[in-house]
Amino acid sequence: MDQPFEIKFDFPLAHSDLSVSLRATAEFHHSDPYYVIDNFRFAGKRNKRSIPTLLPKQEIKLIERGSSKIWVHRDSERESQLSIAMGKAIEKRS
């Protein structure tokens, strides 16, 4: 595994024009390969360990579907607004 790093991204709220700015910790796992994203916080707030994470741990990976590459959840291999937003944040860091 590589060292964990912080990502920042906007998460669009369903059925709304609103989005929430979040930050989280991402860690690359070489085995499959995939990323584990955890420790979700509001982007404007500093990390306070006593506050629980906003979302449960997520596992995403980049796959090829036809001629395009998409970020999907590792277990279902389906894309979502969340997997796409986290994947783009990872790509920005690279």
- Give the residue numbers spanning the domain of 31: 5-93
At 39 the pLDDT is: 95
Q: How much of the chain, in percent, has pLDDT values that exceed 70?
A: 91
- DSSP for 59-71, written as a single string: EEEEEEETTEEEE
Q: What is the pLDDT of residues 40-62, one digit of tens each?
A: 999 886 655 657 889 999 999 99
**Token pair 């990976």: residue:** 61
The yes-or-no verdict on residue 14 having pLDDT over 70 is yes
The yes-or-no verdict on residue 9 having pLDDT over 70 is yes
The whole-model pTM stands at: 0.86
| Average confidence (pLDDT) over 59-68 | 96
User: What total number of domains does the chain contain?
Assistant: 1
Distance CA 85, CA 39 (A): 16
Distance CA 27, CA 38 (A): 9
